[in-house]
Amino acid sequence: MRAVRFWGTRGSLPVALDASGVRAKIVAALRGAAGRDLGSDEAIDAYVDALPFDVRATFGGNTSCVEMITGEAEHVVCDLGSGLRPFGSAMLAQHGASSPQTYHLFVSHLHWDHIMGLPFFGPAYIPGNRLVFYGGHDTLESALRRQMEPPSFPVPFGTFGASIEFVHLAPDVMHDVAGMRVQLKRQHHAGDSYGYRFEKNGRVVIYSTDSEHKLAEPDERPAFAEFFRGADLVIFDAMYSLAEATSVKADWGHSSNIVGVELCQAARAKELCLFHHEPALDDAALAKMLAETRRFEEITRGSATPLRISTAYDGLEITL
Amino acid sequence: MQFASCRFGNVAVAMPSGRLDHTVAADFEAALMPLAGDVRHAGIVLDLARVDYLSSVSLRVLMLAAKATHARKARIAAVALQPIVAEIFAISRFDSVFEMFPSLAVALSAMSPDARAAYDTSVAASG
Protein backbone atom coordinates (compact mmCIF):
# COMPACT_ATOMS: atom_id res chain seq x y z
CA MET A 1 0.00 0.00 0.00
CA ARG A 2 1.63 3.22 -1.09
CA ALA A 3 -0.94 6.00 -0.90
CA VAL A 4 -4.60 6.98 -0.72
CA ARG A 5 -6.21 9.41 -3.14
CA PHE A 6 -9.54 11.08 -2.44
CA TRP A 7 -11.93 11.59 -5.36
CA GLY A 8 -15.04 12.37 -3.33
CA THR A 9 -15.18 13.46 0.31
CA ARG A 10 -18.62 15.01 0.89
CA GLY A 11 -21.41 13.35 2.82
CA SER A 12 -25.01 12.78 1.80
CA LEU A 13 -25.14 14.67 -1.49
CA PRO A 14 -22.79 16.48 -3.84
CA VAL A 15 -22.27 20.20 -3.37
CA ALA A 16 -20.53 22.83 -5.48
CA LEU A 17 -18.86 26.10 -4.66
CA ASP A 18 -21.28 28.76 -5.89
CA ALA A 19 -20.67 32.22 -7.36
CA SER A 20 -20.76 34.02 -4.04
CA GLY A 21 -18.31 31.53 -2.58
CA VAL A 22 -15.85 32.05 -5.43
CA ARG A 23 -16.21 35.82 -5.10
CA ALA A 24 -15.51 35.69 -1.37
CA LYS A 25 -12.27 33.80 -2.00
CA ILE A 26 -11.16 36.28 -4.67
CA VAL A 27 -11.91 39.22 -2.40
CA ALA A 28 -10.01 37.66 0.50
CA ALA A 29 -7.01 36.93 -1.73
CA LEU A 30 -6.97 40.44 -3.20
CA ARG A 31 -7.24 42.05 0.23
CA GLY A 32 -4.24 40.03 1.37
CA ALA A 33 -2.31 41.06 -1.73
CA ALA A 34 -2.55 44.79 -1.00
CA GLY A 35 0.89 46.34 -0.85
CA ARG A 36 2.69 43.21 -2.03
CA ASP A 37 4.98 43.07 -5.03
CA LEU A 38 3.25 40.58 -7.31
CA GLY A 39 5.02 41.66 -10.47
CA SER A 40 6.15 38.21 -11.56
CA ASP A 41 4.49 34.81 -12.07
CA GLU A 42 6.79 33.39 -9.40
CA ALA A 43 5.69 36.00 -6.87
CA ILE A 44 2.04 35.35 -7.68
CA ASP A 45 2.47 31.59 -7.33
CA ALA A 46 4.30 31.99 -4.04
CA TYR A 47 1.61 34.32 -2.72
CA VAL A 48 -1.26 32.04 -3.75
CA ASP A 49 0.45 28.93 -2.39
CA ALA A 50 0.89 30.64 0.99
CA LEU A 51 -2.78 31.52 1.32
CA PRO A 52 -4.88 29.43 3.72
CA PHE A 53 -6.36 26.37 2.01
CA ASP A 54 -9.93 27.61 2.44
CA VAL A 55 -9.03 30.80 0.56
CA ARG A 56 -6.91 29.41 -2.27
CA ALA A 57 -8.83 26.17 -2.79
CA THR A 58 -11.96 24.24 -1.85
CA PHE A 59 -12.56 20.96 -0.07
CA GLY A 60 -14.82 19.93 -2.92
CA GLY A 61 -18.21 18.45 -3.24
CA ASN A 62 -18.20 14.97 -4.74
CA THR A 63 -19.59 12.19 -2.57
CA SER A 64 -17.55 9.32 -1.20
CA CYS A 65 -14.95 7.75 -3.46
CA VAL A 66 -11.44 6.88 -2.25
CA GLU A 67 -8.69 5.14 -4.23
CA MET A 68 -6.19 2.85 -2.53
CA ILE A 69 -2.93 3.01 -4.47
CA THR A 70 -1.50 -0.41 -3.75
CA GLY A 71 1.42 -0.45 -6.14
CA GLU A 72 -0.24 -3.17 -8.20
CA ALA A 73 -1.65 -2.82 -11.71
CA GLU A 74 -5.21 -3.49 -10.60
CA HIS A 75 -7.17 -0.58 -9.15
CA VAL A 76 -8.79 -0.49 -5.71
CA VAL A 77 -11.58 1.93 -4.83
CA CYS A 78 -13.82 2.43 -1.80
CA ASP A 79 -17.37 3.52 -2.57
CA LEU A 80 -19.07 4.60 -5.75
CA GLY A 81 -20.13 8.15 -4.90
CA SER A 82 -20.07 10.95 -7.43
CA GLY A 83 -16.28 11.06 -7.09
CA LEU A 84 -16.23 7.84 -9.12
CA ARG A 85 -16.94 9.90 -12.27
CA PRO A 86 -13.71 11.96 -12.18
CA PHE A 87 -11.81 8.84 -11.09
CA GLY A 88 -13.10 7.04 -14.16
CA SER A 89 -12.21 9.97 -16.39
CA ALA A 90 -8.68 9.98 -14.99
CA MET A 91 -8.34 6.26 -15.61
CA LEU A 92 -9.49 6.63 -19.21
CA ALA A 93 -7.07 9.50 -19.72
CA GLN A 94 -4.25 7.45 -18.26
CA HIS A 95 -4.93 4.04 -19.77
CA GLY A 96 -7.11 4.76 -22.79
CA ALA A 97 -9.98 2.57 -23.90
CA SER A 98 -7.96 -0.21 -25.46
CA SER A 99 -5.90 -1.27 -22.44
CA PRO A 100 -8.05 -3.59 -20.30
CA GLN A 101 -8.09 -2.65 -16.62
CA THR A 102 -9.40 -4.38 -13.48
CA TYR A 103 -11.21 -2.39 -10.83
CA HIS A 104 -11.84 -3.75 -7.33
CA LEU A 105 -14.72 -1.71 -5.91
CA PHE A 106 -15.47 -1.97 -2.18
CA VAL A 107 -18.86 -0.64 -1.09
CA SER A 108 -19.54 0.54 2.47
CA HIS A 109 -23.31 0.51 2.05
CA LEU A 110 -26.03 1.10 -0.48
CA HIS A 111 -27.29 4.59 0.28
CA TRP A 112 -27.58 6.78 -2.76
CA ASP A 113 -24.58 9.01 -2.09
CA HIS A 114 -22.31 5.96 -2.02
CA ILE A 115 -23.44 4.39 -5.30
CA MET A 116 -24.60 7.36 -7.43
CA GLY A 117 -21.33 7.63 -9.38
CA LEU A 118 -21.50 4.18 -10.94
CA PRO A 119 -23.76 5.11 -13.91
CA PHE A 120 -21.17 7.77 -14.81
CA PHE A 121 -18.10 5.53 -14.45
CA GLY A 122 -16.70 5.50 -17.97
CA PRO A 123 -14.55 2.36 -17.68
CA ALA A 124 -17.70 0.33 -16.92
CA TYR A 125 -18.91 0.83 -20.49
CA ILE A 126 -15.72 -0.43 -22.13
CA PRO A 127 -15.49 -4.10 -23.13
CA GLY A 128 -12.36 -5.76 -21.83
CA ASN A 129 -12.41 -3.98 -18.49
CA ARG A 130 -13.29 -5.98 -15.37
CA LEU A 131 -15.27 -4.64 -12.43
CA VAL A 132 -15.43 -6.63 -9.19
CA PHE A 133 -17.83 -5.28 -6.56
CA TYR A 134 -17.31 -6.25 -2.92
CA GLY A 135 -19.54 -5.64 0.07
CA GLY A 136 -21.19 -6.99 3.15
CA HIS A 137 -24.75 -6.49 1.92
CA ASP A 138 -26.63 -9.33 0.24
CA THR A 139 -28.51 -6.74 -1.79
CA LEU A 140 -25.44 -5.10 -3.36
CA GLU A 141 -26.14 -6.24 -6.92
CA SER A 142 -29.86 -5.45 -6.85
CA ALA A 143 -29.20 -1.98 -5.43
CA LEU A 144 -26.70 -1.14 -8.18
CA ARG A 145 -29.03 -2.44 -10.88
CA ARG A 146 -32.10 -0.71 -9.45
CA GLN A 147 -30.66 2.79 -9.56
CA MET A 148 -30.19 2.40 -13.32
CA GLU A 149 -33.74 1.24 -14.03
CA PRO A 150 -36.49 3.51 -15.40
CA PRO A 151 -37.60 6.02 -14.39
CA SER A 152 -34.44 6.75 -12.38
CA PHE A 153 -31.87 6.50 -15.18
CA PRO A 154 -32.02 6.09 -18.96
CA VAL A 155 -29.16 3.61 -19.38
CA PRO A 156 -29.68 0.16 -17.84
CA PHE A 157 -27.00 -1.67 -15.89
CA GLY A 158 -26.89 -4.30 -18.65
CA THR A 159 -25.41 -1.72 -21.01
CA PHE A 160 -22.07 -1.99 -19.22
CA GLY A 161 -19.50 -3.49 -21.56
CA ALA A 162 -17.06 -4.47 -18.84
CA SER A 163 -17.26 -7.87 -17.21
CA ILE A 164 -19.06 -7.62 -13.86
CA GLU A 165 -18.61 -9.73 -10.73
CA PHE A 166 -20.10 -9.46 -7.26
CA VAL A 167 -18.36 -10.84 -4.18
CA HIS A 168 -20.02 -10.95 -0.77
CA LEU A 169 -17.55 -10.53 2.09
CA ALA A 170 -18.45 -11.71 5.58
CA PRO A 171 -17.49 -9.35 8.43
CA ASP A 172 -14.96 -10.04 11.17
CA VAL A 173 -12.78 -12.42 9.17
CA MET A 174 -9.77 -11.76 6.97
CA HIS A 175 -10.16 -12.01 3.19
CA ASP A 176 -7.42 -12.04 0.57
CA VAL A 177 -8.47 -9.66 -2.19
CA ALA A 178 -6.38 -7.96 -4.86
CA GLY A 179 -3.17 -8.72 -3.04
CA MET A 180 -4.45 -7.24 0.21
CA ARG A 181 -5.73 -8.59 3.50
CA VAL A 182 -9.22 -7.16 3.94
CA GLN A 183 -11.49 -7.23 6.98
CA LEU A 184 -15.01 -5.82 7.29
CA LYS A 185 -16.74 -4.55 10.41
CA ARG A 186 -20.45 -3.90 10.68
CA GLN A 187 -21.23 -0.33 11.75
CA HIS A 188 -24.24 1.52 13.16
CA HIS A 189 -26.07 3.08 10.21
CA ALA A 190 -29.56 2.74 8.78
CA GLY A 191 -29.50 -0.55 6.87
CA ASP A 192 -25.98 -1.20 8.22
CA SER A 193 -22.70 -0.03 6.80
CA TYR A 194 -19.34 -1.80 6.73
CA GLY A 195 -15.97 -0.41 7.64
CA TYR A 196 -12.91 -1.83 5.89
CA ARG A 197 -9.44 -2.61 7.17
CA PHE A 198 -6.92 -2.97 4.34
CA GLU A 199 -3.49 -4.44 5.02
CA LYS A 200 -0.66 -4.78 2.55
CA ASN A 201 3.12 -4.80 2.90
CA GLY A 202 2.93 -3.78 6.55
CA ARG A 203 0.71 -0.78 5.88
CA VAL A 204 -2.83 -0.51 7.25
CA VAL A 205 -5.60 1.77 6.02
CA ILE A 206 -9.04 1.95 7.64
CA TYR A 207 -12.02 3.17 5.64
CA SER A 208 -14.80 3.77 8.17
CA THR A 209 -17.56 6.02 6.96
CA ASP A 210 -21.26 6.35 7.71
CA SER A 211 -20.67 4.94 11.16
CA GLU A 212 -22.35 6.18 14.30
CA HIS A 213 -20.52 5.36 17.51
CA LYS A 214 -22.92 4.63 20.32
CA LEU A 215 -21.27 6.11 23.39
CA ALA A 216 -23.68 4.35 25.74
CA GLU A 217 -22.51 0.91 24.56
CA PRO A 218 -19.42 -0.04 26.58
CA ASP A 219 -18.25 -2.68 24.08
CA GLU A 220 -18.21 -0.21 21.20
CA ARG A 221 -15.01 1.63 22.08
CA PRO A 222 -12.72 -1.41 22.53
CA ALA A 223 -14.17 -3.10 19.45
CA PHE A 224 -13.40 -0.17 17.16
CA ALA A 225 -10.06 0.49 18.85
CA GLU A 226 -9.14 -3.08 17.96
CA PHE A 227 -10.41 -2.69 14.39
CA PHE A 228 -8.34 0.49 13.99
CA ARG A 229 -5.33 -1.00 15.85
CA GLY A 230 -2.01 0.41 14.67
CA ALA A 231 -3.43 1.83 11.44
CA ASP A 232 -1.25 4.11 9.35
CA LEU A 233 -4.36 6.00 8.27
CA VAL A 234 -7.95 6.04 9.55
CA ILE A 235 -10.47 7.62 7.17
CA PHE A 236 -13.27 8.52 9.57
CA ASP A 237 -16.83 9.81 9.34
CA ALA A 238 -16.67 13.16 11.17
CA MET A 239 -19.81 14.65 9.72
CA TYR A 240 -21.24 16.24 12.86
CA SER A 241 -20.08 17.95 16.00
CA LEU A 242 -20.29 15.76 19.09
CA ALA A 243 -23.14 17.96 20.36
CA GLU A 244 -25.13 17.32 17.18
CA ALA A 245 -24.31 13.61 17.11
CA THR A 246 -25.61 13.16 20.66
CA SER A 247 -28.72 15.33 20.35
CA VAL A 248 -30.71 16.42 17.29
CA LYS A 249 -28.76 14.14 14.95
CA ALA A 250 -28.52 11.10 17.21
CA ASP A 251 -29.39 7.92 15.28
CA TRP A 252 -28.66 9.65 11.96
CA GLY A 253 -25.76 7.25 11.52
CA HIS A 254 -22.73 9.52 11.68
CA SER A 255 -19.97 10.47 14.06
CA SER A 256 -17.77 13.39 15.13
CA ASN A 257 -14.18 14.60 15.11
CA ILE A 258 -14.02 14.16 18.91
CA VAL A 259 -14.85 10.46 18.78
CA GLY A 260 -12.47 10.01 15.85
CA VAL A 261 -9.56 11.38 17.86
CA GLU A 262 -10.44 9.30 20.92
CA LEU A 263 -10.71 6.04 18.96
CA CYS A 264 -7.49 6.67 17.05
CA GLN A 265 -5.68 7.49 20.28
CA ALA A 266 -6.98 4.28 21.85
CA ALA A 267 -5.94 2.35 18.73
CA ARG A 268 -2.51 4.01 18.56
CA ALA A 269 -3.21 4.88 14.94
CA LYS A 270 -0.79 7.21 13.18
CA GLU A 271 -3.11 9.49 11.23
CA LEU A 272 -6.79 10.42 11.38
CA CYS A 273 -8.36 11.86 8.24
CA LEU A 274 -11.71 13.58 8.73
CA PHE A 275 -14.13 12.49 6.01
CA HIS A 276 -17.76 12.56 4.82
CA HIS A 277 -18.11 16.29 5.31
CA GLU A 278 -21.49 17.78 6.15
CA PRO A 279 -22.82 19.45 2.95
CA ALA A 280 -23.89 22.54 4.91
CA LEU A 281 -20.30 23.29 5.98
CA ASP A 282 -18.36 25.72 3.79
CA ASP A 283 -14.61 25.75 3.33
CA ALA A 284 -14.01 28.10 6.25
CA ALA A 285 -16.03 25.88 8.58
CA LEU A 286 -14.15 22.75 7.49
CA ALA A 287 -10.80 24.51 7.94
CA LYS A 288 -11.88 25.59 11.42
CA MET A 289 -12.88 22.02 12.25
CA LEU A 290 -9.45 20.77 11.20
CA ALA A 291 -7.69 23.32 13.41
CA GLU A 292 -9.97 22.51 16.34
CA THR A 293 -9.47 18.78 15.91
CA ARG A 294 -5.70 19.22 15.92
CA ARG A 295 -6.01 21.24 19.10
CA PHE A 296 -8.24 18.59 20.72
CA GLU A 297 -5.64 15.94 19.89
CA GLU A 298 -2.94 18.14 21.40
CA ILE A 299 -4.73 18.73 24.69
CA THR A 300 -5.77 15.09 25.09
CA ARG A 301 -2.52 13.46 23.93
CA GLY A 302 -0.84 13.08 27.27
CA SER A 303 2.49 11.29 26.87
CA ALA A 304 1.40 9.38 23.76
CA THR A 305 2.93 9.80 20.31
CA PRO A 306 1.18 12.62 18.45
CA LEU A 307 -1.67 11.58 16.17
CA ARG A 308 -1.52 13.34 12.80
CA ILE A 309 -4.80 14.96 11.84
CA SER A 310 -5.81 15.75 8.28
CA THR A 311 -9.09 16.46 6.59
CA ALA A 312 -10.00 15.05 3.23
CA TYR A 313 -10.59 17.12 0.13
CA ASP A 314 -11.30 16.11 -3.43
CA GLY A 315 -7.86 15.61 -4.95
CA LEU A 316 -5.95 15.01 -1.72
CA GLU A 317 -3.32 12.27 -1.87
CA ILE A 318 -1.85 10.90 1.36
CA THR A 319 1.40 8.97 1.06
CA LEU A 320 1.69 6.13 3.55
CA MET B 1 -14.14 11.03 39.99
CA GLN B 2 -15.83 12.58 42.98
CA PHE B 3 -19.26 14.12 42.95
CA ALA B 4 -20.97 16.51 45.33
CA SER B 5 -24.15 18.51 45.07
CA CYS B 6 -26.01 21.19 46.96
CA ARG B 7 -29.05 23.37 46.52
CA PHE B 8 -29.64 27.12 46.65
CA GLY B 9 -33.33 27.94 46.56
CA ASN B 10 -34.80 26.09 43.60
CA VAL B 11 -31.46 25.62 41.84
CA ALA B 12 -29.35 22.47 42.22
CA VAL B 13 -25.59 22.66 41.89
CA ALA B 14 -23.62 19.62 40.71
CA MET B 15 -19.91 19.61 41.51
CA PRO B 16 -18.01 16.76 39.89
CA SER B 17 -14.25 16.69 40.13
CA GLY B 18 -11.29 14.98 38.49
CA ARG B 19 -11.05 13.36 35.07
CA LEU B 20 -14.44 12.50 33.63
CA ASP B 21 -13.35 9.84 31.14
CA HIS B 22 -15.01 6.66 29.92
CA THR B 23 -14.03 4.76 33.08
CA VAL B 24 -16.22 6.92 35.33
CA ALA B 25 -19.02 7.89 32.96
CA ALA B 26 -21.51 5.40 34.39
CA ASP B 27 -20.96 6.69 37.93
CA PHE B 28 -21.18 10.26 36.70
CA GLU B 29 -24.49 9.52 34.98
CA ALA B 30 -25.89 7.81 38.09
CA ALA B 31 -24.97 10.82 40.21
CA LEU B 32 -26.11 13.59 37.87
CA MET B 33 -29.34 12.35 36.33
CA PRO B 34 -31.44 12.33 39.53
CA LEU B 35 -30.67 16.04 39.91
CA ALA B 36 -31.58 16.77 36.29
CA GLY B 37 -34.88 14.94 36.58
CA ASP B 38 -35.95 16.39 39.93
CA VAL B 39 -38.96 18.62 39.30
CA ARG B 40 -38.14 20.71 42.38
CA HIS B 41 -35.16 22.14 40.51
CA ALA B 42 -36.02 24.99 38.17
CA GLY B 43 -32.38 25.16 37.29
CA ILE B 44 -29.27 22.97 37.31
CA VAL B 45 -25.79 24.43 37.52
CA LEU B 46 -22.79 22.29 36.64
CA ASP B 47 -19.85 23.71 38.58
CA LEU B 48 -16.91 22.32 36.61
CA ALA B 49 -14.18 24.20 38.44
CA ARG B 50 -12.57 20.97 39.63
CA VAL B 51 -12.97 18.99 36.41
CA ASP B 52 -9.68 18.44 34.57
CA TYR B 53 -10.95 16.63 31.50
CA LEU B 54 -14.15 15.41 29.85
CA SER B 55 -14.25 12.58 27.32
CA SER B 56 -16.99 12.05 24.75
CA VAL B 57 -18.74 9.52 26.97
CA SER B 58 -19.01 12.00 29.84
CA LEU B 59 -20.06 14.76 27.46
CA ARG B 60 -22.87 12.42 26.44
CA VAL B 61 -23.93 12.29 30.10
CA LEU B 62 -24.05 16.09 30.13
CA MET B 63 -26.22 15.95 27.00
CA LEU B 64 -28.59 13.51 28.73
CA ALA B 65 -28.85 15.92 31.65
CA ALA B 66 -29.52 18.83 29.29
CA LYS B 67 -32.24 16.89 27.49
CA ALA B 68 -33.90 15.87 30.78
CA THR B 69 -33.75 19.42 32.11
CA HIS B 70 -34.99 21.07 28.93
CA ALA B 71 -37.78 18.50 28.62
CA ARG B 72 -39.32 19.80 31.84
CA LYS B 73 -38.76 23.44 30.84
CA ALA B 74 -35.99 23.96 33.38
CA ARG B 75 -32.62 25.63 32.74
CA ILE B 76 -29.16 24.15 32.83
CA ALA B 77 -25.84 25.97 32.94
CA ALA B 78 -22.14 25.19 33.09
CA VAL B 79 -19.82 27.45 35.10
CA ALA B 80 -16.20 27.97 36.08
CA LEU B 81 -14.68 25.82 33.36
CA GLN B 82 -10.93 25.33 33.45
CA PRO B 83 -9.30 26.49 30.20
CA ILE B 84 -8.84 22.97 28.80
CA VAL B 85 -12.42 22.01 29.61
CA ALA B 86 -13.64 25.25 28.06
CA GLU B 87 -11.78 24.31 24.87
CA ILE B 88 -13.36 20.86 24.87
CA PHE B 89 -16.79 22.47 25.25
CA ALA B 90 -16.10 24.77 22.31
CA ILE B 91 -14.66 22.09 20.01
CA SER B 92 -17.52 19.68 20.74
CA ARG B 93 -20.06 22.55 20.42
CA PHE B 94 -21.38 21.78 23.89
CA ASP B 95 -21.04 25.49 24.63
CA SER B 96 -24.13 25.93 22.48
CA VAL B 97 -26.09 23.40 24.52
CA PHE B 98 -25.58 24.93 27.96
CA GLU B 99 -25.91 28.43 29.30
CA MET B 100 -22.32 29.37 30.05
CA PHE B 101 -21.30 31.56 33.00
CA PRO B 102 -17.92 32.44 34.49
CA SER B 103 -18.95 31.61 38.05
CA LEU B 104 -21.61 29.98 40.17
CA ALA B 105 -22.66 33.35 41.61
CA VAL B 106 -23.24 34.85 38.17
CA ALA B 107 -25.19 31.80 37.04
CA LEU B 108 -27.43 31.88 40.10
CA SER B 109 -28.12 35.58 39.57
CA ALA B 110 -29.20 34.85 36.01
CA MET B 111 -31.33 31.85 36.89
CA SER B 112 -33.05 32.79 40.13
CA PRO B 113 -32.78 35.81 42.46
CA ASP B 114 -33.91 33.60 45.33
CA ALA B 115 -31.16 31.12 44.60
CA ARG B 116 -28.58 33.91 44.48
CA ALA B 117 -29.84 35.25 47.79
CA ALA B 118 -29.57 31.80 49.34
CA TYR B 119 -26.05 31.48 47.96
CA ASP B 120 -25.03 34.89 49.40
CA THR B 121 -26.44 33.90 52.76
CA SER B 122 -24.49 30.67 52.65
CA VAL B 123 -21.26 32.45 51.74
CA ALA B 124 -21.74 35.02 54.50
CA ALA B 125 -22.44 32.30 57.04
CA SER B 126 -19.35 30.35 56.08
CA GLY B 127 -17.13 33.41 55.91
In three state form, how does the secondary structure of chain B look? CEEEEEEECCEEEEEEEEEECCCCHHHHHHHHHHHHHCCCCCEEEEECCEEEEECHHHHHHHHHHHHHHHHCCCEEEEECCCHHHHHHHHHHCHHHCCEEECCHHHHHHHHCHHHHHHHHHHHHHHC
Interface probe with A: pick from B20, B51, B56, B94, most Cβ of A within 10 Å:
B56
**Chain A residue with the nearest C-alpha to that of B25:** A216
Residues of A in contact with B93 (CB under 8 A): 241-244
Is the CATH number of domain B2-110 3.40.225.10? no
Do A66 and A101 lie in a common domain?
Answer: yes
Do A31 and A151 lie in a common domain?
Answer: no
pLDDT computed for residue A218 by the predictor: 87
Do A34 and A103 lie in a common domain?
Answer: no
Residue B127 has pLDDT above 80, yes or no: no
Q: Å from B104 to nearest chain A CA?
A: 23
How high is the mean pLDDT of chain A? Answer: 97
Do A132 and A49 lie in a common domain?
Answer: no
Do A313 and A279 lie in a common domain?
Answer: yes
Q: Which domain holds residue A166?
A: 3-16+58-319
Residue type, A276: H
Query: 3-class SS at A159?
Result: helix
Domain count along chain A: 2
Do A33 and A173 lie in a common domain?
Answer: no
Q: Using 50, 70 and 90 to split pLDDT, how confident is the model at B126? A: confident
Q: Å from B114 to nearest chain A CA?
A: 31
Do A86 and A39 lie in a common domain?
Answer: no
Q: Using 50, 70 and 90 to split pLDDT, how confident is the model at B75? A: very high
List the domain boundaries for chain B.
2-110
**pTM, rounded to two decimals:** 0.95
Residue A21 has pLDDT above 90, yes or no: yes
Do A64 and A193 lie in a common domain?
Answer: yes
Average pLDDT (B42-55) is 96
Residues of A in contact with B96 (CB under 8 A): 243
Do A92 and A165 lie in a common domain?
Answer: yes
pLDDT computed for residue A106 by the predictor: 98
Calpha distance A105→A93 (Å, rounded): 19
Instruction: Supply the CATH number for residue A123's domain.
Output: 3.60.15.10
Lowest mean per-residue pLDDT among A202-206, A277-281, A285-289, B34-38: B34-38
Do A44 and A88 lie in a common domain?
Answer: no
Q: A181 and A247 in contact (C-beta within 8 Å)?
A: no
Residue A258 and residue B67: Cβ atoms within 8 Å?
no
pLDDT computed for residue B1 by the predictor: 87
Do A171 and A36 lie in a common domain?
Answer: no
Do A37 and A12 lie in a common domain?
Answer: no
